[in-house]
Amino acid sequence: MSEAEPPRDWAAFQYEIYLNGMTGAVPRLPTDLTLLEEVTEQRLGTGPVGYVAGSAGNGRTAHANRAALDRLRIVPRVLRDISKRDLSVEVLGARLPAPFALAPVGVLSIMHPGAEPAAARAAAAQGVPFILSSASSTPMEKVAEAMGDSERWFQLYWPKDRDVTLSFLSRAKKCGFSALFVTLDTPLLAWRPRDLDQAYLPFLHGVGTANYFTDPAFQAGLAKPVHEDLNAAVLHWVQMFSDPSKTWPDLAFLRENWDGPIVLKGIQHPDDARRAADFGVDGIVVSNHGGRQVNGAIGSADALPGVVEAVGDRLTVLFDSGIRTGDDIFKALALGARAVLLGRPYAYGLGLDGQAGVEHVIRCLLAEFDLTLALSGHSTPGELTPDALAPI
């Protein structure tokens, strides 16, 4: 979106739905997005749904993410002119039409055959950025092709193999991914009972490994081509997918080899946020991976104020983990996040109705956010401060 473009009227989706209702049409999916998980559970297979909906351990962190947001309360203000609103924000040098992006979610083909290209097309159609996972089921070149020149960012699972890392960075650059999101909370896969009980892990069947299997540097480490020995390729992937021995000084390698913005994803502690700022990264995502990694961890929205206080004036603070409704976005922004990322709900939208389902999720969420903003007396995200919330 260029500066000259008028602000987008997100709340117009509300009128559109009622207007369509005059001909008897109702939305294909619920407009209360918290219902999507249950609908998806009913319609999709237990393996895929368990993988997406599941969390680490007995789900305490996923629960804490919701509890942290639910505990906050908005205090509405009245008699302020809220007739003209502009939800756009500047993030990593790009003007976004709303403080929102789709989070990197791996293996989307288990939800829908359209997989990442369908989700990316939905993001492009709505003008919001799409963050492509390293563990996508579609090679990054195909996803980029589906997006035209829409804003896209690449999420790096930082491989053990230096040449594969360099190859990913150069492919991503060539494909027009403008920022690099380095995920730091997944050096190992957590204890995930829903997947363990079903012995379900798509990667072991070569699903979610497309970026690796199509990569010349990855292929160079194989004795036979992937299609001739899938098991060997999968085993190679398992041992090079991540490097749990990495530490802060290793980040210099990424800085040297990526000339765009770098964002560290998975920060919860103010001291880690300070280290990120000292190192000079452009942003961080306050995230606990949607509660999928450390069971018993702090709710992400409970971690946010301390991180904002530590580094809010030094880099861009983004937020995810638990966002489900428009007021959740309001709360995260009031606590100091510049924008939020959305994970599971768009994966459910994709599973239920492909690209249209993802667009439905984006439009519902941002219409609800716009109305929440307006009805509590604000016209832009920049006006939100902790004052908009009841003291906690």
Q: Which residues bind ligand FMN (CB under 6 A)?
A: 51-52, 103-106, 133, 135, 155, 183, 265, 287, 289-290, 292, 320-323, 342-344, 347
Find the largest Cα–Cα distance for the chain. Answer: 71
Q: Cβ of residue 99: shortest distance to ligand 173, in angstroms?
A: 23
CA-CA distance, 237 to 220, in Å (whole number)? 12
Site for ligand 173 contains 189 (CB under 6 A) = yes
50 binds, among ligand 173, ligand FMN, none (CB under 5 to 8 A by kind): none
The nearer residue to ligand 173, 51 or 319, going by C-beta atoms, is: 51
289 tagged catalytic:
yes
Candidates 173, 184, 166, 168; CA nearest to 264 is 184
- Identify which of 281, 263, 232, 290 has the alpha carbon closest to the alpha carbon of residue 66: 290
Using CB atoms, what's the residue nearest to ligand 173? 135
Of the pair 289, 363, the CB lying nearest ligand 173 is at 289
Q: Of 85, 172, 168, 178, give the one whose Cα is nearest residue 129.
A: 178
Residue 124 binds which one of ligand 173, ligand FMN, none, with CB within 5 to 8 A depending on kind?
Answer: none
Within 8 A by CB and 6+ apart from 182, the residues are 155, 156, 158, 251, 254, 262, 263, 264, 265
Report the residue number, 105 or 362, with the smaller CB distance to ligand FMN.
105
Binding at 161: pick from ligand FMN, ligand 173, none (beta carbon under 5-8 Å per type): none
Provide the minimum distance between the beta carbon of 350 and ligand FMN in the complex, in angstroms, as a whole number: 11
- Supply the minimum distance, in Å, between the C-beta of residue 239 and ligand FMN: 18
Catalytic: which of 227, 236, 269, 289?
289
User: Can you count the helices (H) and strands (E) in the chain?
Assistant: 16, 10
List all residues 6 or more positions away from 119 whose beta carbon is below 8 Å from its beta carbon.
102, 105, 108, 130, 346, 350, 355, 358
**Looking at beta carbons only, is 331 or 344 nearer to ligand FMN?**
344
End-to-end CA distance of the chain, in Å?
36
* Binding-site partner at residue 321 among ligand 173, ligand FMN, none, CB < 5 to 8 Å by type: ligand FMN
Minimum distance, C-beta of residue 358 to ligand 173, in the bound complex (Å): 18
CB of 185 to ligand FMN, least distance (A): 8
The least distance separating ligand 173 from the CB of residue 46, rounded to whole angstroms, comes to 16
Q: Position 308: which residue type?
A: V
Q: Distance between CA 191 and CA 351 in Å, rounded? A: 25
Which of positions 124-143 make contact with ligand 173 (CB under 6 A)?
135
Residues 222 and 302 sit within 8 Å (Cβ to Cβ)? no
**What residues have CB less than 8 Å from 268, skipping those under 6 apart?**
286, 287, 288, 297, 298, 300, 303, 307
Answer yes or no whether residue 211 interacts with ligand 173 by CB under 6 A. Answer: no
| Residue 194 found at the interface with ligand 173 (CB under 6 A) | no
Place of tokens 């976005």: 329
Which CB, 124 or 365, lies closer to ligand FMN?
A: 365
CA distance 53 to 57: 13
Q: Nearest residue by C-beta to ligand FMN?
A: 343
Residue placing its CB nearer to ligand 173 in the complex, 105 or 120:
105
* H/E element, 120: helix 115-126
289 contributes a contact to ligand 173 by CB under 6 A: yes
Residues identified as active-site: 289
Question: What is the contact surface with ligand 173 in residues (CB under 6 A)?
Answer: 106, 135, 186, 189, 203, 208, 289, 292
